[in-house]
Structure formats: structure tokens, C-alpha cells
A and B are shown apart, each in its own frame.
Chain A
């Protein structure tokens, strides 16, 4: 499967590209700067689209799926410190539709509604981008993770519609595994679920959903 990976700047995105290649998919990495191209190729990216050179939407061409790793960007803007750059998600969903991409996996973080309580016109709500994705005619999966940490993956998680996540954490390597395995696990199609480190093997945890 040719899979576009959006959000490769972080370790999680790098793991996603590598794991896709290891599972004989054809990952396409979207990178912000030309300087990252070589590293992505080394990780196993079949194609690398640099935003420096090409426009955003051309990256979706020929892809069957998109894995979107959301993250707050330094350019998100003042007053939106933990706001996921949801406009970018909305743009990606639009571009996916335009290029006939049917499968969309969105990584989000737990606490998707936390911003609602804040009284500021500049604050957005992460929930909105998820909602938009659900309304489109795409086979979506929204995966909300507990706190991503730079630890080696253990290959085991706890997943469910809602889980206790106080001080919960999950290695980035495991988040990547969840995202990649969710691609072709039918049990998680058109579902939204939470995931954190746990005791169940990742593919089993996904199949139980």
C-alpha cells in the first residue's frame, strides 16, 4: 500500500516510515525541509515530498492511505500552546478526498476536549478536526494516545473507547506500531479509540476493538 506519512519531524513519524517499509508498504514521507530527504530515504521511504519544492497536495497523488501525526508546531501561534494544528488536518482531509485516497489514520492526543473550557477566541478545539474527518466519506481511524515518551517500544498496549490515562504514557515506537497496524486492521475502521502502554499485544488490542 502506498501510504503518505504527514508529521515526520518527530521520532514517532520516523518510526512510522521505517515500520511501513519493514511491512512492505510503500511509505511516502512529507517533509518540511529538503535536508530531511536523505534521512527519510534511509528509513525506507519510497518517495519523499519536500514542502520546500512541491506543493502540499501533490504528495497525496497515487496514495491509498494517509497517516497523519498531529503535533503542535512552533508556528501554531501565540495563545495556542497545545493546540493541534487542526487547519492542517482539515487541509489534509480535503487533499485526500481530491486525490481519491480512501483510508485516513489520524493520530491525536488524549484530552481532545480540554480546550473547550478555555475562554479564548484564539483557541481552537482539537475535536473539530476529528469531527470533520468523521463526516467525510473516508475510512477513518482516530487514535488518541497518552503522553508519547522517548522509550523503546514494548509492543504491548491498552486500547479502548476511553481509558484512564492519568500519568499514562506510551513509547513513540509503540504509537508508530499502532498507527501502522491500524491501517489494515478492519476492526478499527471508522472508529475512534484511546491507547496507552499496557499488557496486550498491539495487534490483539486492535482486533478487540
Chain B
């Protein structure tokens, strides 16, 4: 026994060295003879280190090397801001901003005499019972925190400031007492736990809405009783006949559901101007039932509706939908083709028809799965697109008939405020809400392997997402956004965020030059000038 004790350390050390040498020899031999990777053929061991560091590079960058303002699609700071608002309902910071003030960007023009808190037009008559975390002690390796009940103010708009969609056109207009809602996210793209947590959180917060995405209306969307905008994409999921045509009967059924407050026809999406494709293996019985398709069958949805191919036909379709459903009908667009945008608004003026709301998705918008070239380059970013749509609608005298909903990385109150000032009436957020239910930006939404159980239908991965816990984070996040908007309104000298106008923001370029928004945004007049210039040059 004593001999064994004596020799054991030496044996262990020897085994470790031999094991390492054997592994190195194995990989050297394997890499030297393979024909796939040239670097590994020439430098088997160092090459393997390169591939390993490449594999863990994103994590190293995120946690060690990138500063708080770096990282895409959302910086560490932007990510943390969403998490803290949801988890702790906390947005206070110490010492100062981490924004890079040398970069170009928009700023809120603060008033010399900001509004007092008691001068703001807030409806806080209804309280909300939620839960937040409180940190008791934070160490290097541990954080002691506990979840506590909390009663908070909802920061609703007053009734007379509420945004009403379809007030003059629909039997059942949609009244909104908050300016921020959840952008389109389908059941199927997100799992049932994520959709349920979102639904319950948004229902708890009230004054907000949930867009179903084009994947149809599921029981998970309805579970928390939020107001719902049902999106209809070219695949017509949830409103289709067995043959794949638009079913007026199914549409009528959906419109009779009280929680469904409006419908949105998706013409385009910021990151995904293409047809949809779902592998048969992902079309479960449940998904098939919701989408009204055959289970197990691969579905290819077209990249444009068969039902209409020009504005006249689209608006006829909108008219009939409004007539049958009695609820507001909107369209979701991406601004790229300025001529088409002008044609659309002109048609709205000439025919007196058109949508009750237009969702303008910026080119920076996200999606579960798309091609790099579409995500990077198709469509204008939201801050360029938004004033253009707003101005175009004004030019043709139809702005008062339609509400504008903006979307595209607008995850914080200041970004929402800038969008409102740029012409939006309301703002949609998708990824901010994903982060609030646990998304860690692993960027593998398209693989069904989301490690946080958000963008996956894998039941094992979804086990990680506890609905009861995450619902409060969703509610806290959206209420924090509303509270932040009132803070900014007060700073700008207005008493409600619905009064944000372009005069309340300025743009500063990287040289420090400050411009009013009208000088830097594309307007119909500037588009006209460009057209004339092009004609002259030809």
C-alpha cells in the first residue's frame, strides 16, 4: 500500500504526459493526411488552435474583449439595459453615459423649463402587481438576490391621448393606451413557453399589444389575454383553405375573437423579403392545426400574395377584410422603392381607400432565419424610412387616416422617442422582448437549438424557460419603456410622449455639426429633385 502511495504521483504524471503526447500525435497524423483544410495540412497543431479560438471567439469577444458599446446586433450595454429593466425594473445608472458622443446620432432637444412630474398627462389609476429582483449581496462568484412582490404604476396614456386605429373606418376600432408593443413573432419560430410568457407579461402590463407573426394565432398567444394584432403573410397561415387560398370564413372566425383587435397584411419584413419555407418534420400536429396546413408536409410560402399584385387590388382586399371583420387592417412594409411608396400614397388619396395602419420595418429589423445579403442590404433603416413615409402621407393629405408603427432595433426609451419624433405613432419591438424572456443573442434562431429555450420548439431546451418567472420580466420591460418615454417627454417640455415631433430632436454628425431633422432626412420634395436631376443627366 505504501509502495503504491509512493509511486502513484509519478504514474499519474507519466500518464498525463503520455496521454497529451498521444493525442497530439493522433491529431498531427489525422490533420496532416486530411485533404479538406490547407492550414491543418501544413500546420496541424497550430492550425487546430486557430480553429478552436475561432469557435469560442464570439464568447471571448462578448465577455472579455469587446467594450460595452461594441457587439452586434445589440451591444452589451443595449442587451443589459433590456435585462435590467425586465429583471430589476431598474434603469438608473451611475457616473455617466457610456454612449460614444463622438459618433453621429440623434439627440432629444431638452427644454429650458422641463415639465414637472405632476404636470405630465399620465393615467396611473390602475396599479400593476408584478415581481422584481432585489440584490442583497454581490460577490465575485455569487450574487445573492431574491424576487419580491411589487406594485407599480402602469404609465398609461390618458384616454384622450390614447392612439386609436381605425377610429373612422371600423366597426371596432383599436384603442391603445401605450405606445410600445410586441412586433411579429410566430409560434413555431418561438416555442410555446416563450410565446406564453410574452402573452402573459404583455397581458399583465396592459396598454400594449402582441403581433402573432405570420405563423397564425395560437392558444399560447391568447393565454395571457393581451390585445392581439394577427399578422397574415403570403402563406395565409390560419386563414387559408385546404387548397391554400384565402379563406374568408376562417378570417371571419378569427375576427370574432375579442382579443384580436386588428389584422396586419405582411407585404415585406426588414430582414426577410423572401418566401417562407418550413421543413415537414417541423410541421407538428399542433402547428399544422394552427396554420391550417397538413402535418408533416413541407410548406413553401410564396414571397408575394397571390390575392393581389398592385395597390388597387391590395386596397380592394383591405376594404373587404375591414367589411367582413369589422376591425382595423394594416400593412407591413419596408421602404426601398420610393416610386412605389409615392404610388401607394397617391392611390390612397385618389381612391379614398387604404390601410388603417402601416407598419414600417427598418432594414435593421431581425428575423429567425434569413439570408445574409437580405438582412444586410435590403430596405432603408428605420430612421431614414420613417420620416419619408410620414412626409409622403402628408404630401397626399392622407396622414390623418393612417397610423404609423415603426420597428427596427428600437429597444430603449430614447430610441422609441426618436422614432415617435420621426413620425411614428406607435413602436414595435421584437428582439427586446426576446431578450426579456431570456434570449442571450446566440444567433442560432434558425437551427431550433436556441440554448435559452426561446427560439426553439425543442421541449428539452424549452424546459429552461420558466413562464411564471419570465412573464414578469416582459411586463416590467414594457412598463419601463413607457415610464422612460414620459421621462423624456418631461425633459423635452411636453406633457405626453404622443406629442413628440421632429422639432424635439436634432442630429449631430461625427464632426459635431448639429442639424434639424428636416435637413438630413429624405422628403418627397428631395425625392422629386433627385428624379428631375436624373432626367436632366439622361
Q: How far is the CB of A145 from chain B (nearest CB, A)?
A: 16
Would A172 and B151 be within 8 Å (CB), given that A33-B119, A35-B118 are in contact?
yes
Chain B interface helix/strand/loop/mixed: mixed
Contacts of A33 in B (CB 8 A): 118-119
| Contact of B123 with A151 in the complex, beta carbons under 8 Å | no
**Is the beta-carbon distance between A173 and B151 smaller than 8 angstroms?**
yes
Q: A9-B118, A11-B153 are in contact. Are A39 and B124 (CB under 8 A)?
A: yes
Q: Which single member of B122, B152, B158 contacts A150 (CB below 8 Å)?
A: B152
Interfacial chain B residues near A32, Cβ < 8 Å: 118
* Bound form: Cα–Cα A42–B74 in Å: 40
- Given A32-B118, A33-B118: A151 in contact with B124 (beta carbons within 8 A): no
A9 / chain B contacts, CB cutoff of 8 Å: 118
Whether the Cβ atoms of A150 and B123 lie closer than 8 Å is: no
Q: What's the minimum C-beta distance from B23 to chain A, rounded to whole angstroms?
A: 58
The reply to whether B118 and A150 contact each other, CB–CB distance below 8 Å, is: no
In contact, B151 and A150 (Cβ under 8 angstroms): yes
On chain B, the number of residues with a Cβ less than 8 Å from chain A's Cβ atoms is 18
Q: Is the CB of A35 within 8 A of B121?
A: yes
Tell me whether A11 and B127 are in contact in the complex, defined as CB-CB below 8 angstroms, given that A152-B151, A172-B151 are known contacts.
yes
**Contact present for B124 and A14 (CB under 8 Å):** yes
Chain A interface residue count, Cβ-Cβ cutoff 8 angstroms = 20
Judged by a CB distance under 8 angstroms, whether A84 is at the interface is no
Chain B, residue nearest A153 (CB): B151
Chain B residues with CB under 8 Å of A39's CB are 122-125
B300 interface residue per 8 A CB criterion: no
Q: Which residues of A contact B495 (CB under 8 A)?
A: 35
A32 to B149, CA, bound (A): 30
A38 in the interface (beta carbon within 8 A): yes
Q: With an 8 A cutoff between CB atoms, is B38 at the interface?
A: no
User: Can you name 7 extra interface pairs (CB under 8 A) apart from A150-B151, A150-B152, A152-B151?
Assistant: A11-B127, A32-B118, A35-B495, A150-B150, A151-B148, A151-B150, A173-B151
Residue ranges of B at the interface with A (Cβ–Cβ < 8 Å): 118-125, 127, 129, 148-153, 158, 495
Q: Give 28 CB contacts A-B under 8 Å.
A: A9-B118, A11-B127, A11-B151, A11-B153, A15-B127, A18-B125, A32-B118, A33-B118, A33-B119, A35-B118, A35-B495, A36-B118, A38-B123, A38-B158, A39-B123, A39-B124, A42-B123, A42-B125, A43-B125, A150-B150, A150-B152, A151-B148, A151-B149, A152-B149, A171-B151, A172-B151, A173-B127, A173-B151
> Which residues of A are interface residues toward B (Cβ below 8 A)?
9, 11, 14-15, 18, 32-33, 35-36, 38-39, 42-43, 150-153, 171-173
